[in-house]
Amino acid sequence: MSVKSIIEEIEKDVIDVTKTNFIHNDTRVVPNSMDGELTYESGKDKKGKKIETCVLYVDIRNSVALTEKHHTQTMGRIYTAFTKAVLKVARHHSGHTRNIIGDRVMIVFPSTDCFTNAVNCAISINHIAKFIINQQFKGVDFKCGIGIDYGELRVIKVGIQRNGNENGENKGLVWVGYPANIASRLTDVANKTIEETYFEVIRNPINPRAIKPFFNYLSLYASNSSYDPLAPYYLTTLETVEMTTEEFANNISSIKPGELYMMGGNIINFSKKKRTKSYPAILMTGEVYNGIKNENSKRNDIINNYWIEQKQVIKNVSQKVYGGNVNWDIK
């Protein structure tokens, strides 16, 4: 087959995807790649499923540095032992492994009791990393990071039909939805200490009385509006604001040579600083934390406040996040 022929065939496939419908049916069980209700044939509606549940990601920390420091055979043994352990403990907690990408594993749970199962699974994985892998592989300083979120996931089958041994390698499931993205984001920072550059800005805040309402009709509903056309644009008081490097760059500009202008206030001074942020091994969104509290409020980890709200901002995560270095007390 010529390159022209395969390009034309692929173009038809892309057009087919844009022209046919995607239908997602509700489910409470975790779909797999052999599910007959998941379809991807050309010329027909593509059938998928949607499920509201918890998704968990686990990833080995500093895997590149570990590989550089330790013998390849040692790292192969660690990957084998840890991945096998994660798959077994996931099944024990009713989870279903749905992706293994390098040293990152994705686990999805049936809707029923998903909060309890997901959090227990995370605790078990953390326990295995701390007390089994590290004990058996001395001097490796093995760590993993775990992230959990809850919400609606949409599942579709992708790939092509191939004959022989390649058939399974050319098909798979794609999990679409915020929970998968957020859980992955939490996993990115879990059990890490991150050095962060930020700017500390001292400025005069904008005077609220100097801000003219955008629409005149607002005055009908705010007869006691504080707007004063003679009020100074900036207050004389000072405020200190912390900004990321991106926020600082987006908010500062130069209108005249030698002068800096900042959105949100009259800049007096600024300084570039560094700090470190440390995250516990297990991170979960507030929805997961509230879910586990509702399913079992008498758990030791809830009663004893083992899960602490994280005050640091995590990229792309807008809701509250709770975390802890929790493991089992096995006697």
Strand pairing category for 46-60 and 22-26: parallel
**156 versus 222: which is more confidently predicted?**
156
d(CA 155, CA 118): 19
pLDDT at 260: 85
pLDDT in tens, 173-189: 888 899 999 999 999 99
Looking at residue 243, its pLDDT comes to 93
What pLDDT is stored for residue 101 in this prediction?
A: 84
As a whole number, mean pLDDT of residues 253-277 equals 90
pLDDT of residue 14: 78
The percent of residues in the chain predicted with pLDDT above 90, rounded, is: 50
Greater model confidence, 56 or 264: 56
pLDDT recorded at residue 170:
59
Residue 60 clears pLDDT 70, i.e. is over it: yes
Question: Which has the higher per-residue pLDDT, 52 or 25?
Answer: 52
Instruction: Give dist(CA 193, CA 190) in Å, integer.
Output: 9
What integer pLDDT is reported at residue 169 of this predicted model?
Answer: 54
Could you tell me the pTM of the whole model?
A: 0.78
CA distances from 52 to 31, 32, 118, 155, 201 (A): 12, 16, 13, 11, 43
Q: pLDDT-based confidence at 95, cuts 50/70/90?
A: very high
Lowest mean pLDDT of 55-64, 145-154, 244-253, name the range.
55-64
**For residues 295-311, average pLDDT:** 94
Q: What is the four-CA torsion angle of 186, 192, 195, 201, rounded to 10 degrees?
A: 40
Average pLDDT of the residues in 66-79: 72
Of the given ranges (73-82, 90-99, 232-241), which has the lowest mean pLDDT?
A: 73-82
Tokens for 99, please give them.
Answer: 């992706």
Residue with tokens 């998928």: 48
What pLDDT is attached to residue 276? Answer: 92
| Candidate from 121-125, 268-272, 286-290, 327-331 with smallest mean pLDDT | 327-331
Q: Average of pLDDT values for 266-274?
A: 94
pLDDT in tens, 118-136: 999 999 999 999 999 888 8
31-35, 201-205, 297-301: which has the minimum mean pLDDT? 31-35
Q: Walk me through the domains of the chain, giving residue ranges and CATH numbers.
A: 20-192+279-324 (3.30.70.1230), 195-277 (no CATH)
Q: Is the pLDDT of residue 70 over 80?
A: no
pLDDT score at 41 = 65
Amino acid at 243: M
Per-residue pLDDT at 1 exceeds 90: no
Write out pLDDT tens, residues 7-30: 677 777 777 777 777 778 788 888
Q: What angle in degrees, to the nearest 10, is found between the helix axes of 114-128 and 72-92?
A: 150
What per-residue confidence (pLDDT) applies to 248?
A: 94
